[in-house]
Structure 1
């Protein structure tokens, strides 16, 4: 459990939510079989440490009883100006839930400046019935002011949420002993995956399909691409190694530091059992100097730190890179691989194997940490004290955590994309998802209503549906996630809530912002230095700047929370350099 000051301030990454909106346009599963009839779904059965004000009494006396199935309309606000709104009840998925719960939802979002809009709503008390928002200082402020409803009374009547969230997850999400949020993309298992090393198959074969098992193998391969394949078959220049966009160099750190055996949480890591700034780690320094070597050797694009996502994509779909470190799941949204394969028949992007993150320095693959997630997610749905029937809202949103909801959200209700279930209870699709038109996807509403998304049920069903297809029809993305990325992914909550006691306006918060912004500006310059000596000097200067500007106070506060987390739930840093 954490206090009102101890809730993780965490920006929702737009890429994940944008992916959820856009993924409907690129399907991942194909099916053909016959089987028994499924249940009739066409006829829904209706079923901080600051003292906080307890709003339970005010609204537990709401007019809603468990059996209340009278028509109910409530307002739902997305606290993001970029959110894509869609009218409830117009597609088959939301229409099914509308009938099942006899609920209508009126959606809204800010036109601009979400922060200012939310501040106005809080100050005036003119709140919607529910809000989709980050767990941040605004969230804590609303709890402190008594504007949000604790969920325990509603869980007593409907245990669905409690049954699907780990007890440790619920405790981690509590503020002053109470749960106020229905989390987005909570999980209990280490499924999924995103970042990976890939190569352009035609270039790989042209160079004799060399071994790519270690980090040095990647370096040697990149040098050969530079020397032997300067241009594509279309006459375009080739960059030996292309990374995803990112002006602060973070994506390069994910590739290099991980292969060196390190684990980072933003600009911080665990060193000698303590939570510290990354720049104190000699191994991190070694990894940065290695990136600098690749840069000086002409293996990384000169525009790496200035290219936009669209500019990187333009190069990718033209095959203008020998190696690629990128989120492979984005082939469902920007279709980088599909477009390349369509324009270059017989060619493709393929995953570097057998090690998704090839080990450096003679390390064993078992010493390398894959991607990691926490169990609590980063945002979620809250119910405000304005809601007249909070139990009804809670019941609807809790439904999203069930296997039934996962099937509905991904494949729609019975009678549209599917009529029957196979012997394992999986839908038998009438039409492969990747054959659906954009209009058909929109009419169905599949993959759109993922708030809250529950990773456990979504991934389990996604993998099962993909596995039953013929190998040549399986989704490249889902197969990668199920067979390559999930086995090396890990899950931990030890890094949750570390900076919640550091408000942006506190001295430590001001210094933290100053130091982290400085790192984001100066690290790329160190990577681009024209000599190893200059890169090392610039690296040391970054650490000195951090020390001179109070980063120790940030480390102390975050480190205390980290240690408390470890004392409570343990650590997953148990192998390689972290083994004791």
Structure 2
């Protein structure tokens, strides 16, 4: 396999752009653990000429570009322990320490980039690409089988950067609806309040008032990490038809243009509704500062009446298993998306999906053996890697034991249905450890098997995905790759707009009146216009329309 020649590193320019996004300072990150010194040997290859995973140890460092994410210890769970022992793979996590932008800045400054950066396909990763710090993956994709086979040409072509190369390995890519975003309700509280209708925003408000009165030790509406938009983005969707996660762009689709989100009627209504819940004590008062651990504690204790987020499934499946173990009538259930009276429920999307999936993994030029890392990622996105990560190690005492004759379909064991709590624990952790998820394979495989089981033996998460969440996610594929690179004026404007947005969203949540909330939004709009909002809106409108042309010509 040939090797690409990478352009010189533009470290100075990259540092300038990263520093512009970061305000805090803290000590230098500890350098990652280094692999043991080893004599140079020939790269182990299969008969097909591909890197042979498992013959030599593979050491790699992994950084997730999220302030709230800490990688679980590699080898502490059954799936990663199996990968470590069977494939001789050793992964060290690098923490963002609560500030992803600052950490990335320091790693670039210290020339200590990790081998893999995992995060949104946004301006921060694009700055690494523009500086020549990411490895192009084109040749590997052409030679290794799984991503090419399971993603297909449409997804692969959408991954191409402006220079024609591919730098990102997608996570949870799929050509079918998927996702877990939505609203979850506490069974016990709901039952004891008479199981009232919970469909509209008015229904929700009345219900939360009753919860506050009758269950003073419970949180009526739990948002999760509101600083990331959790919960409040789902409420925005309740007030707007065809809402395709527009908060990430600070703009909404209006006819054939993208226009200011601050002037959108649905967004303004949702902001007033959120502030009303906050000032009346109907939602988490620490929504902007709480941690995932604190949210999990409330869910596990049954202290949240209604919970909404972009992925409630990950923590709720464990909480449901724990509560229902003590009392089969306790636990949680999903409801249809909440909507404002008069809107079409079929056009309300608490979450979205796109064919490229959620985020992506990128291999940096710091990696000693980028091909070996790609071989691992390609294995992870294939049938065996997907099965190990989602259902644990194979074996007679596991949840699956090898594959059926097609070499793709796992042979599930009786433990799959007899030990739902153990499976839930593995799958809850997989949300943090699946970095290149193959949604099409995972969803199709588990759905087909679940259909053969009696209803009482079906997996809790799969049941609600099939009946609620998958069909209530909107297709946001036309809105992918809109964010401009920081090297152009529109990209620099975007960074200013993001600061304005984050400040306005937090401030509006604590508005003492509806008028005060609207003033915050109007001020944010004015500040955005002064920062060059129109030029940015023109840019993302063009990118959106370009996407539509590509998709319509597919």
Counterpart among 143, 146, 151 of residue 157 in structure 1: 143
- SS of the residue 1:77 aligns to: strand
Greater RCO between the two (CA within 8 Å, min separation 6)? 1
1:37 is matched with none
Question: Alignment partner for residue 511 of structure 1, among 472, 491, 496?
Answer: 496
Unaligned runs of 5+ in 2: 1-9, 11-16, 18-41
Aligned residue number for residue 265 of structure 2: 282
Question: Which stretch has the larger CA shift, 457-466 or 124-133?
Answer: 124-133
Query: Partner of 2:178: helix, strand, or coil?
Result: coil
Q: What SS class does the counterpart of residue 166 from structure 1 fall into?
A: helix
Determine the structure 2 residue equivalent to 1:466.
450
Q: Secondary structure of 1:269's partner? A: strand
Cα distance in structure 2, aligned partners of 1:522 and 1:284? 15
* Structure 1 runs not aligned, ≥5 long: 10-60, 99-103, 572-580
Looking at structure 2, the residues matched to 195 and 348 of structure 1 have their Cα atoms a distance apart, in angstroms, of 16
Q: Within 5 Å, which residues of 2 pair with 1:224-243?
A: 224-226=210-212, 230-232=213-215, 236-243=216-223
Relative to structure 1, the CA distance from residue 243 to residue 384 in structure 2 (aligned partners, 3 Å threshold; closer, same or farther) is closer
For residue 71 of structure 2, the aligned residue among 83, 103, 120 is: 83
Instruction: Report the Cα distance in structure 1 between the residues aligned to 2:498 and 2:183, rounded to whole angstroms.
Output: 30
Per-residue CA deviations over 1:330-365 (Å, capped at 9, x if unaligned) read 3467x333344456663332333xxx1133232232
Alpha carbons of 1:135 and 1:85: their partners in 2 closer, same or farther (altered >3 Å)?
Answer: farther
Q: TM-score, normalised by structure 2?
A: 0.73
- 1:188 equivalent to 2:170? Answer no
User: Aligned pairs, how many?
Assistant: 492
Question: How much does 1:518 deviate?
Answer: 2.4
Once the two structures are TM-superposed, the CA of residue 78 in structure 1 deviates from its matched residue by 0.7
Q: Deviations over 1:128-147 (max 9, x none)?
A: 76665654556445545555
With over 3 angstroms needed to count, the CA separation of the structure-2 counterparts of 1:342 and 1:141, relative to structure 1, is same
Cα deviation 1:242-293 (Å, max 9, x = unaligned): 4334147662242244344251422332123322221121232233334445
Question: Judging changes above 3 Å, is the alpha-carbon distance between structure 1 residues 191 and 533 closer, same or farther for their aligned structure 2 residues?
Answer: closer
> SS in structure 2 opposite 1:494?
helix
Q: Which of 476, 490, 496 does residue 492 from structure 1 map onto? A: 476
Cα pair 2:258 2:541 within 8 Å, conserved: yes
Task: Describe the SS at the equivalent of 1:189.
Answer: coil
The partner residue of 1:533 within 499, 515, 523 is 515
In structure 2, C-alpha distance between the alignment counterparts of 1:542 and 1:126, rounded to whole Å: 37
Shift of residue 557 of structure 1? Answer: 2.6
**Aligned counterparts of 1:87 and 1:532: Cα–Cα separation in 2:** 51
Bigger radius of gyration: 1
2:313 touches 2:461 (CA, 8 Å); kept in 1? yes
Give the Cα–Cα distance (whole angstroms) in 2 for the partners of residues 147 and 546 of structure 1. 31
Asked if 2 retains the 8 angstrom alpha-carbon contact of 1:289 and 1:532, the reply is yes
Could you say what secondary structure the match of 2:415 adopts?
Answer: coil
Do 2:127 and 2:486's aligned partners in 1 also have CA atoms closer than 8 Å? no
> Distance in 2 between the 1:344 and 1:207 partners?
18
Are 1:330 and 2:314 an aligned pair? yes
Partner of 2:192: 206
Structure 2 CA distance for partners of 1:118 and 1:209, relative to 1, 3 Å:
closer
Superposed CA deviations along residues 128-186 of structure 1, whole A, max 9, x for unmatched, are 76665654556445545555443333344334322221323212211211223322222
1:368-517 alignment, distance < 5 Å: 368-383=348-363, 393-411=373-391, 412-417=393-398, 418-419=400-401, 425-429=409-413, 431-432=415-416, 435=419, 450-502=434-486, 507-517=492-502
Deviation for aligned residue 1:127: 7.0
Instruction: Please identify, of 483-492 and 115-124, the stretch whose mean Cα deviation from structure 2 is larger.
Output: 115-124
